[in-house]
Amino acid sequence: MSFLTKDLALWMYERMLLIRFYEEKVREFFAQGKIPGFVHLYAGEEAVAVGVAANLRKDDFITSTHRGHGHCIAKGCDVKLMMAEIMGKKTGLCKGKGGSMHIADFDVGMLGANGIVGGGAPHAVGAALSAKLRRSGQVAVAFLGDGAMNQGVVLESLNLAAIWKLPVIFVVEDNQYAISMRSLTPTELQPRVSTARGYAERAGGFGIPAVTVDGQDVIAVYEVAREAIERARRGEGPTLIHAITYRYYGHFEGDPLAYRSRKEEEEWRRRDPIVIFKNKLLEMGIASSDELKRIEDKAMKEIEDAVKFAEESPYPDPEEAFKDVFIEEYY
């Protein structure tokens, strides 16, 4: 807590709100048929992306997942361009060619959301390898879901990061479910996908230090991420952070959620990461309720502006489909 300045704390609060408001708006628009394709919402997990990103430089790297909106916003992607992208508009961050699962913005070190579970993990390893060889002092963060921890390429990535002692941090966002399959603790409805006692234990098998953290407490995440990222910058190698969290909505919008109970969802919502953080900011006297209200209003306005921008933006010209396959105009 001692390192958390007021500016940074308020930035974190604002980012968490932006993610929540963005996701709520996407949910609303998806239900209205304004957003094509599949969307996977990050609401409920905000403290993880923001607590980690609060420790990153603009030129540090992250790789993300199919549930990537929160990582993008935390790393500094423009929400207007993101909103346009997921509506398939020409003005989108990726010209409307990627959509929700493929948002990237290399200018802020966001190396890509990913439609393949675990697919981005080795990219973070490679970005960290590049940082190490170029002696740039940059670090890379691979955001992963609990489901990705059973993908071969993720386990390969852990091994490569360990043997090459790379400045990479694996952040396992354990939101309890890999689609419908239970992460670590079986319930009466669902069997589990791993017999590990925790993902930290599994990292230990690769010789990677690991820590488990309450993913609803952004200050707790900030502190463990701070230590891991400083360690990486010092050249001491990778760390795995196992963050226990919860996704408020289904795997995707339209998921009937038959695999978990409404009671369980209510229990988790009682530990809302934004409410927890807000109460802390007030209790500790870091900010007044007026100050927080102004941040809330500003974040809401930013999302409303993003929606307006996206809705008013044109769709791409159909011929655009043939561009950007290669550097040259060829397909």
Partner 1 sequence: MSVREITFLEALNEALRQEMERDPTVIIMGEDVGVYGGAFGVTKGLLEKFGFERVIDTPISEAGFIGAAIGATATGLRPVVELMFVDFFGVAMDQIYNQAAKMRYMFGGKIKVPITIRTTIGGGLSAAAQHSQVLYSIFAHVPGLKVVVPSTPYDAKGLLISSIRDDNPVMFFEHKLLYPIKGPVPIEPYTIPLGKADVKREGTDVTIIGLALTIHQALEAADILAEEGVSAEVIDPRTIVPFDKEAILKSVRKTGRVVIVDEDYDRCGFASWVAAVVADEAFEYLDAPVKRVTTPNVPIPFSPPLEKHVLPNTEKIVKAVRAVVRKG
Binding site residues, partner 1, CB under 8 A: 61, 63, 92-98, 102, 104, 106, 111-112, 114-116, 119, 121-131, 133-134, 138, 140, 152-153, 156-157, 159-160, 163-164, 323-328, 330-331
Nearer to partner 1, 160 or 218 (CB): 160
Cα 162 from Cα 165, distance rounded (Å) = 5
Q: Measured from the CB of residue 97, what is the shortest distance to partner 1 in angstroms?
A: 5
Q: Measured from the CB of residue 23, what is the shortest distance to partner 1 in angstroms?
A: 21
**Cα dist. 56→12, 21, 120, 222, 307 in Å?**
12, 23, 18, 10, 28
Which residue among 27, 226, 233, 259 is the active-site one?
259
Nearer to partner 1, 106 or 266 (CB): 106
247 labelled catalytic: yes
Cα 308 from Cα 304, distance rounded (Å) = 6
Q: Measured from the CB of residue 200, what is the shortest distance to partner 1 in angstroms?
A: 21
Which residue among 20, 69, 71, 251 is the active-site one?
251
Cα 18 from Cα 301, distance rounded (Å) = 10
Q: Measured from the CB of residue 120, what is the shortest distance to partner 1 in angstroms?
A: 8
Q: Measured from the CB of residue 73, what is the shortest distance to partner 1 in angstroms?
A: 17
Which residue among 66, 182, 247, 260 is the active-site one?
247
251 labelled catalytic: yes
Nearer to partner 1, 17 or 104 (CB): 104
Nearer to partner 1, 262 or 326 (CB): 326
Nearer to partner 1, 163 or 284 (CB): 163
* Two tokens, residue 92: 């989108």
Catalytic residue positions, numbered: 247, 251, 259
